[in-house]
Amino acid sequence: MIGMQNRALRTSGGQTVLFYRKEPPTRRVPAQDGHRHESCRRGTMQPARARPGLREAQEEPMSIPGESASIAPEVFRQVLGQYPTGVTAITGLDASGDPVAMVVGTFSSVSLDPPLVSFMPTRTSQSYARLLTADVLRANVLSMEQESVCRTLARPGGAEKFSGVEWDPSPLGTPMLRGASAWVEFTIQERIEAGDHDIVIGRVVDLGVGSGGLPLLFLGGGYGRYTAHSRIMPTTADSLTQIRWAEAAKPELEHLSEKLGLEVVFASLIDDAIVQVASFDATRSNARPHPLGVRLPLGAPMGAPIIASASEPARRAWLARSFPGLSENLVQQHLVALDRIRERGWALNLMSESLTEADRSLRALDDGRLSWGSVPLDEQLSDPRTYSAELPSDPTTRIRVRSVSSPVRGPHGDPLFYLTLFGYGEAATSDSVQHSIDDLLTTVRAVEGTVAHP
Ligand SMILES: Cc1cc2nc3c(=O)[nH]c(=O)nc-3n(C[C@H](O)[C@H](O)[C@H](O)COP(=O)(O)O)c2cc1C
C-alpha cells in the first residue's frame, strides 16, 4: 500500500491531479565530519542537486476536479504572507572568520529529544553559502526594538552589514546580537532540498533567553509586535503551584479583564521575590505588557496586598528594605495603611511621577539586579497614601488611578497571591473605580473557590 507521504499535487491539462510517487520527493544532504559538509569547509559549497532520476519517479495521475490550474508566485506570497512569523537572524563566523548574518522568518523548533531546530534558506542566498562554512550557528530571535537591525541584516552583502550592529562573539564563537529576545546555538545536522529552498535541521548545543523583551513579528510584508490577550509565564520548579493556580483562574480573570476593559495581573511571592506570573488583557491596549517571570525584590510598596497580612516584624523589614531610616512616625502610618488593606481586602495605588519612574525601572530589572538600589524610590513613595489611598466620597470626582490590587486567600486565610487591575487611564470617576473594585472582589471570591478545590 502506498503511504500518504508519497502523494503530491501536480497540474496536468488545466486540472490539479494527485500523483503517487514511488520515491520521496526530497533529497537529504547529511552533514559530515562534525556536522560540516566537506565542500562547505573549503568554502566552495554548491546547492545540493537532486540525484539523476529522482525527479523522474513514476507517477499515476488521479484527478481532483475543480482545483485551480496553477499558482502564481504573487498569489503564493500574498496568501502565505497572511501567516505571521517571528524574525530571526542566523549568524555565524565564516571560513575567513568574518561575521555572517541572514534574516529568516522560517526559524522553528523541530524536536525536543534530541533537541532540534530548523530554518529554511533560499539556495541562491550568498549569506547562506557563507553560513554553511561556519562551525556553529546562532539563531538570534530579534526583539521588537530591533527592527532597524533586522532591516540592516536583511540586505544582501558581506561582513560590512554588521557596521552599526552591536554584537559580541559567544564562547562558541557565534555573533551574539545585543538585545535579542532569545538565542539558540546549533550545528547543522542535516539539509533537505525542498524546491528552491533548503530545510536546514540544526542540533541544539546551547540556548537561552536574552533581553526578555517581546519578539519582533512579521506579517503581510510589515513589522509589528505581539500584544498579549493573556499570558502565563513558563513553568519553573519553584513556581509550578502558582502557574497551576493562574491556569485554574484563567477563565475568571479573562472574564474580569473583558468586563472592565482593564489588564489583570496575577503576582505572587516566590522565594522572597515578587513575581508576575500571568497577565490577562482583553483590551490588548498595553504596548509594553508587564514582563512575566521577572523577580522583583519584596520591598515597599511592592507586594503590599500580601505583606498586609504578615507579622509586624515582617512588615517593618519590608519597609526598611526600601526606606532604611524611616521615622517611627512614618512607620506607624504605614502599619495603619497595611491594616486598612488587610481589613477591606484591597489596595488603591494613585498615579504619581515618582511611581511612573519607579515602574519604568522595575520593568528594566532582571534576576541579575535583584535590588532596590537600581530603583529610584523618592520621598513621595515613602508616603503610605501612594499604595493605600482612599476613594473620594463624591462619586463624580475624577482620580488618576495607577492600579487596584486584592489578595487571593487560601482556605486558612493566608494570602496565596494577588490580583492587580491596570489601565484606568488619566481620569476615572470615583464611582467607576468603586465598581471595578466590587467586580475585582467578586472575582477574588470565585478564584478562592477555584484554587481551594482545583
Ligand atoms: C522578515 C524577513 C524574513 C525572511 N525570511 C527568509 C527565509 O526564511 N529564508 C530566506 O532564504 N530568506 C529570507 N529572507 C530574506 C533574507 O533575509 C535576505 O534578504 C537575504 O538573505 C539577503 O541576501 P543574501 O543572503 O544573498 O545576502 C527574509 C527577509 C526578511 C526581511
Instruction: Give the CATH number of the domain where residue 117 resides.
Output: 2.30.110.10
Does residue 68 form part of some domain? no
d(CA 91, CA 93): 7
Domain boundary among 191, 225, 259: 225
**Distances in Å between the alpha carbon of 88 and those of 85, 102, 117, 420?**
9, 8, 12, 34
Last residue of a domain, one of 177, 207, 225: 225
Residue 355 lies in a domain: yes
Are 162 and 246 found together in one domain? Answer: no
Same domain, 194 and 298: no
Distance 217 CA to ligand 1 centre (A): 14
95: buried, middle or exposed (CB in 10 Å: 19+, 13-18, 0-12)?
A: middle
Residue 8 Cα to ligand 1 middle (Å): 27
Pocket flag, ligand 1, residue 154 (CB < 6 Å): yes
Instruction: List the residue whose alpha carbon is closest to atom 19 of ligand 1.
Output: 154
Tell me whether residue 64 is in a domain: no
Is residue 272 within 8 Å of 298, Cβ to Cβ?
yes
- Cβ(125) to ligand 1 under 6 A? yes
The closest residue, in CA terms, to atom 21 on ligand 1 is 102
Domain match, 195 and 215 both: yes
8 A C-beta contact, residue 228 and residue 279: yes
In a domain, 195, yes or no: yes
Q: Rounded to whole angstroms, how far apart are CA atoms 437 and 389?
A: 13
Most informative mutation of 83, 91, 108, 125 for ligand 1 (most atoms within 8 A of CB): 125
Ligand 1 atom closest to the Cα of residue 126 is 26
Nearest CA to ligand 1 atom 4: 104
Ligand 1 atom closest to residue 128's alpha carbon, by position in its atom list: 25
The last residue of one of the domains, among 205, 225, 245, is: 225
The enclosing domain of 353 has a CATH number of: 3.30.450.40
* Packing angle of the helix pair 240-260, 430-452 (nearest 10 deg): 140
105 in contact with ligand 1, CB cutoff 6 A: yes
- Cβ–Cβ < 8 Å for 199, 176: no
Same domain, residue pair 111 and 248: no
Do 179 and 255 belong to one domain?
Answer: no
Same-domain check for residues 208 and 253: no
pLDDT digits (tens, 9 = 90+) for 165-177: 999 999 999 999 9
Ligand 1 centre and the CA of 198: distance in Å?
Answer: 13
> In this predicted structure, what is the pLDDT of residue 316?
95
Q: How many independent structural domains does the chain possess?
A: 2
250 and 329 share one domain: yes
Instruction: Establish if 204 belongs to a structural domain.
Output: yes
What range does the domain containing 430 cover?
230-452
Whether 150 and 204 share a structural domain: yes
Q: How far is the CA of 206 from the centre of ligand 1 (A)?
A: 24
- Rounded to the nearest angstrom, the distance between the alpha carbon of 154 and the centre of ligand 1 is 6
- The number of the ligand 1 atom at minimal distance from the alpha carbon of 161 is 27
Burial class (CB in 10 A: 0-12, 13-18, 19+), 283: middle
Total-model pTM: 0.57
Check pocket membership of 86 for ligand 1, CB cut-off 6 A.
no
Q: Does the residue 8 lie in any domain?
A: no
Identify the residue whose C-alpha is closest to ligand 1 atom 27: 156
Q: Which of the listed residues 80, 102, 197 should we mutate to test ligand 1's pocket, taking the one with most ligand atoms within 8 A of CB? A: 102
Q: How far is the CA of 118 from the centre of ligand 1 (A)?
A: 15
In a domain, residue 196? The reply is yes
| Distance from the alpha carbon of residue 104 to the mean position of ligand 1, in angstroms | 5
Nearest residue (by CA) to ligand 1, atom 8, is 104
Pocket probe for ligand 1: among 45, 98, 104, the residue whose CB has the most ligand atoms within 8 Å is 104
**Residue 106 Cβ < 6 Å to ligand 1:** yes
> How far does the centroid of ligand 1 lie from the alpha carbon of residue 431, in Å?
54
Q: Which residues of 316-341 are buried (b: 16+ CB within 10 A; e: fewer)?
A: eebbeebbeebeeeebebbbebbeeb
Which residues does the chain have with pLDDT short of 70? 1-69, 211-212, 227-230, 234-238, 284-291, 358-381, 452-454
Q: Is the CB of 362 under 6 A from ligand 1?
A: no
Pocket test for ligand 1, best of 103, 122, 149 (most atoms within 8 A of CB): 103
Ligand 1, closest atom to CA 218? 1
126 lines ligand 1 (CB under 6 A): yes
Q: What is the pLDDT of residue 6?
A: 38
Pairing of strands 428-429, 230-232: unpaired
Indicate if 221 and 265 belong to the same structural domain.
no
Q: Residue 355 corresponds to which cell in the numbers above?
A: 511611581
Same domain, 244 and 281: yes
**Residue 109 is assigned to a structural domain of this protein:** yes
**Could you tell me if 173 and 255 lie in one domain?**
no
List own/partner pairs for 68-74 with CB under 8 A and 24 or more apart: 68/16, 69/11, 69/14, 69/15, 69/16, 70/11
Q: Are residues 442 and 322 in the same domain?
A: yes
